[in-house]
Amino acid sequence: MKTYHIIIAAACLMFAVMASGVFAEEPATIPPEVAKRLGISEDGREARPVRDITAKELAFLKDEPRLRVLNLIRCENITDAVLKNLAGMTQMQELYLSDCNKITNAGLAHLAGMTQMEELNLGRCDKITDAGLVHLVGMTQMQTLTLSWCKNITDTGLANLAGMTQMEKLDLGGCDKITGAGLTHLAGMTRLRVLGLRKCNSITSAGLKSLAGMTQLRQLSLDGCNQITDSGLMNLAGLTELRRLSVVFCKQVTDAGVKKLEETLTECYFVTRPSPDNMPQAKPATPTRRILGNRRA
């Protein structure tokens, strides 16, 4: 009995020590001038380096256990070799690599262990192909993924996203090799609220049927999808939560087709004409309807 009590006491002591922060993550020792260029936040959870950051400077981040968010958008020196320095950062939750167009499939291999990832931006990383997306399969906690203008991604590549059932926002704009067949791989993303398919010119009216199960979808961009017709739009009639649908430059979509769908999606904000600010303030098809609202003006 005494032995049992000793074990219980030891366990309680260990819990108290852990709660006191003795085993808390210790910040990395980084030279002040480098830390400034790395743009590390005071709590060490976020870094936004300068655009000309070097591989040597970025290497300091691998010893920062508190880091959860890394913004490398438009950092001109980011290559596959640089991403190798990030390989051990399995605690990463948000990583922004938009316009780092030297990255290839080999670079994505170094990110495979980041299974806690919730947001990943690979916009305009146009050397990435279907083979590169294989390395994202384990990121099942993903909520926001940007692959816009990764023009070498096809239907086959989208199969690697099928397990990301927590997804809420997915941007595939400019991926013009994707068809309706590829969209079927997204069927399990029942939490998806925002989907970008602008300039996905291989998607047809029939392909829109693949979106039927996305009943939580609230924003959908089909701008420049020139194979979509008025009759094809009616495949979206079951998306009753839809609050914003953009069909700018869809050459086969007419005002009559939009009006017909509007009769079903009575709370949806339709965008049919371009505006100076990337169309966020375009007028709805019916002036009295409010975006994301359930009330009449």
pLDDT at 281: 40
Q: What is the pTM of this model?
A: 0.84
DSSP string, the chain: -HHHHHHHHHHHHHHHHHHTTTTSPPPP---HHHHHHHTB-TTSSEE---TT--HHHHGGGGG-TT--EEE-TT-TT--HHHHHTTTT-TT--EEE-TT-TT--HHHHHTTTT-TT--EEE-TT-TT--HHHHGGGTT-TT--EEE-TT-TT-BHHHHGGGTT-TT--EEE-TT-TB--HHHHGGGTT-TT--EEE-TT-TT--TGGGGGGTT-TT--EEE-TT-TT--HHHHGGGTT-TT--EEE-TT-TT--HHHHHHHHTT-TT-EEE-S--TTTSTTPPPSSTTB-TT-SSB-
Q: Is residue 290 over pLDDT 50?
A: no
Task: Return mean pLDDT, the chain.
Answer: 88
Burial 222-258 (b: 16+ CB within 10 A, else e): bbbbebbbbebbebbebbeebbbbbbbbbebbeeebb
C-alpha distances out from residue 50 to 38, 60, 88, 217, Å: 7, 14, 22, 36
Q: Locate tokens 């924003």: which residue? A: 219
Residue 11: per-residue pLDDT: 52
Q: Per DSSP, what are the bridge partners of residue 46?
A: 69
Residue 289 scores a pLDDT above 80: no
Q: Which fold has domain 26-271?
A: 3.80.10
Tell how far CA 65 is from the center of its chain: 24
Reply yes or no on whether the pLDDT at 279 is more than 90. Answer: no
Separation of alpha carbons 128 and 33, rounded Å: 34
Q: How far apart are CA 128 and CA 47, in angstroms?
A: 24
Say if CB 212 and CB 187 are below 8 A apart: no
CB atoms within 10 A of CB 29: 9
163-186 tens-digit pLDDT:
999 999 999 999 999 999 999 999
| Rounded Cα gap, residues 46 and 49, in angstroms | 10
* Pairing outcome for strands 244-246 and 219-221: parallel
- For residue 247, is pLDDT > 50? yes
Mean of pLDDT values over 131-136:
98
Q: What is the mean pLDDT of residues 252-268?
A: 97
Tens-place pLDDT, residues 17-43? 444 443 445 666 899 999 999 999 999
Write the pLDDT tens digit of every residue in 58-115.
999 988 999 999 999 999 899 999 999 899 999 999 999 999 999 999 999 999 999 9
Predicted pLDDT at 52? 95
Report how far residue 19's alpha carbon sits from residue 27's, in angstroms, rounded to the nearest whole number. 18
Percentage of the chain modeled with pLDDT above 70: 83
Query: Does 211 score more than 80 pLDDT?
Result: yes
Residue 29 pLDDT? 84
User: Percent of the chain at pLDDT above 90?
Assistant: 80
Band (2; pLDDT cuts 50, 70, 90): low
